[in-house]
Amino acid sequence: MNQAPIWEPSADRIDGANISRFMRFVRESTGNEDIRRYAPLYEFSVRDPDRFWSLVWEFCGIRAHGDLQPVLADRDRMPGARWFPNVTLNFAQNLLRFKDERIAIVFRNEWGDQRELSYAQLHAEVGRLAHALRQQGVGVGDRVAGFMPNIPETIIAMLATTSLGATWSSCSPDFGIRGVVDRFGQIAPKVLFTADQYGYGGKRFDCLEKIRGVLDELPGIERLVVVPYSGQPLKLDGLRGAVALPDFAGTQERALEFVPVPFDHPLYVMYSSGTTGVPKCIVHGVGGTLIQHLKELVLHTDLKRDDKLFYYTTCGWMMWNWFVSGLAVGATLVVYDGSPSHPDGNALWNLADEVGISVFGTSAKWLSAIEKAGIKPRETHKLLSLKTILSTGSPLAPESYEYVYRDIKDRVLLASISGGTDIISCFALGCPVLPVYRGELQCRGLGMKVEILDDDGNPVRNQAGELSCGAPFPSMPVMFWNDPDGSKYHNAYFAKVPNVWCHGDRALLTEHDGIVIYGRSDATLNPGGVRIGTAEIYRQVEQIPEVLESVAVGQHWGEDERVILFVRLREGLALDNALRERIRHQIRVNTTPRHVPAKILQVADIPRTISGKITEIAVRDTIHGKPVKNTDALANPQALACFRDLAELQT
């Protein structure tokens, strides 16, 4: 590990950080004068979770009814621990605590549409739609789904749904019919929201034709609410139960009535990627999602009312849910719909300058892609308000840290964050009072007893192992849908080590108490019995200018396993022996000989999930002649054809 920080916070930034105020609050509340740095605060948070989470509750001003005690019941059960069992609250009420003229949402899309909504206007829009849903019969426990692009109406529909105590679920409109049915068919929504079209990469895509197929397979949908997003007249003939959103919600002012529900009442149904079968329906609770998001947004992200928060995401990725919780802080959400690369790769940086984004969220893959495209925002944009860049979706390569500080902005906190749909939050993430080390996530999340386990289940440091969490945390799923005995839930996380959450990531805890993520443990390579994380290979390959992206998998070979590396090159380039040798040399010199692939092959495309993550398992299954169980979970299933019947794989 590189011992020198690549960035350190200034004294002013440390003094002004929310987490510094929180440490003072903890000292005053507990009398513990040692809590003046992150390390003792973290130790307190995992040693005394009852006190810690009750202080987070008070500091963040969560609105609820009932007795906060006990904070944690059945604490020795994982899963099964219950947080704040005597509390009721409403999620939408906490996100709509402000009702003033401050801007709540700034919206832009690649078509050039522009809109702004104040908190007062957002409150009114949610009130009208909530009344309409109530009139439709939606209430506590019902499910409402969204097949929606990333537009303000999606946020409004979620808030209206949850204000009634109903449960929200969404997926991106680029899913196919089968992908939508595999998800929503399991939870039987009463109402479905969709837009007529969405745009991406300079093209417009129709949603209603796919919705016809969805309605054919989901007869339980009583009402289809269509957002006239394209600006063109809606054609709703033949769509069962269809109504335009303006007609459904009406224009009359409606008072919002927030229905209180238990802390663990279902708020969101999220979905696993579904590349190995029908997606698992992961149910997250109202209170656990709220308090975990507020902890991360307020303390780790340092979000304040004056901030403008942006995250490039679809509505099917958990980062949308995380991002939208910024409303509870009173910040301005900057919502963008469209391709981040259209027309020239600068759309998001143009948006950052135009709007004054202060917290900018994106994916590691996008940062790598724009670096390879030669985009240097530091030379073309001002980025005056930008104070934090967040990255997730896959491990952020050390070289991407250098790119950010060299070519984007040097006075910015770069926070690589890692968690997942499973916990709708993070295990490791950023902190505004800690330094940034090249290739490391800054810290383990407060209140998260994160440990790295060796193959025998023992905690280790400075050694790669299984990312785990050894104590309950509020945003654990409350259940899986259609899992009456809890076996699917248990087997997903607790089968490997009893009573310990094993996340499925291979990681390392550094001497700085930072985290390095090496990739999914189920995709770990094992040549000669040596475990290798795929991210270790990608970090080297992505430094080769000719390579746009790559995927590494293990292939059964004799009595062993060999590493196969597939590369997608810049347009017009062909893989030759000279380039192969440069790739091998880069990997060998910077890792170990075990990391060097036995074969390096060129492919035209690499399969990825709808949320943009490369799927190593689908590639591995394909080259072994196994079926990929659910190609509808892939954004580009046709890419699998590149890997079938490659003669080079047989030599």
> Which two three-digit tokens encode residue 270?
């999220």
Q: Which domains does the chain have, with CATH numbers?
A: 103-259 (3.40.50.980), 524-650 (3.30.300.30)
For tokens 């069962």, name the residue: 240
Residue 280 above 80 pLDDT? Answer: yes
Please tell me whether residue 569 adopts helix, strand or coil conformation: strand
Q: What's the chain's average pLDDT? A: 93
List all residues 6 or more positions away from 585 whose beta carbon is below 8 Å from its beta carbon.
none
End-to-end CA distance of the chain: 37
Residue 532 above 90 pLDDT? Answer: no
pLDDT over 90 percentage in the chain: 81
Give tens-digit pLDDT for 547-569: 999 999 989 887 778 999 999 99
Q: For position 37, what pLDDT does the model report?
A: 98
| Confidence at 536, pLDDT banded by 50, 70, 90 | confident
Q: Estimate the crossing angle of helix 577-590 against helix 534-541, to 10 degrees.
A: 120
- CA-nearest of 538, 184, 496 to 393 is 538
Q: How many Å apart are CA 268 and CA 316, to the nearest integer?
A: 11
Range in 97-101, 388-392, 604-608, 610-614 the model is least confident about: 610-614
Could you give the dihedral angle defined by the CA atoms of residues 64, 66, 72 and 73, in that order, rounded to the nearest 10 degrees?
Answer: -140
Q: Mean pLDDT across the stretch 65-72?
A: 97
Give tens-digit pLDDT for 450-459: 999 998 999 9
| Confidence at 634, pLDDT banded by 50, 70, 90 | confident
Contact between 465 and 541 (Cβ < 8 Å): no
Q: Mean pLDDT across the stretch 370-385?
A: 96
> Which two three-digit tokens encode residue 338?
């469209």
Q: For position 251, what pLDDT does the model report?
A: 95
Cα separations in angstroms, 39 against 432, 437, 443, 446: 13, 16, 9, 10
Point out which residues pair with 555 in neighbouring strands.
Answer: 562
Residue 383 above 70 pLDDT? Answer: yes
pTM for this model (two decimals): 0.89
Q: For position 393, what pLDDT does the model report?
A: 86
Choose between 249 and 554: higher pLDDT: 249
258: phi then psi, degrees, rounded to nearest 5: -95, 120
Q: Mean pLDDT across the stretch 374-381?
A: 97
Q: For position 1, what pLDDT does the model report?
A: 46
Residue 259 above 80 pLDDT? Answer: yes
Q: Mean pLDDT across the stretch 247-273?
A: 96
Could you give the dihedral angle defined by the CA atoms of residues 68, 71, 77 and 80, in that order, rounded to the nearest 10 degrees?
Answer: 30
Residue 277 above 70 pLDDT? Answer: no
Q: Is the peptide bond before 498 cis (omega within 30 degrees of 0)?
A: no
Residue 466 above 80 pLDDT? Answer: yes
| Confidence at 73, pLDDT banded by 50, 70, 90 | very high
Q: How many Å apart are CA 368 and CA 389, to the nearest integer?
A: 14
Give tens-digit pLDDT for 120-136: 999 999 999 999 999 99
Which one-letter DSSP state was computed for residue 175? S
| Confidence at 644, pLDDT banded by 50, 70, 90 | confident
Taking the CB of residue 36, how many other CB atoms lie within 10 A of it?
Answer: 14
| Confidence at 531, pLDDT banded by 50, 70, 90 | low
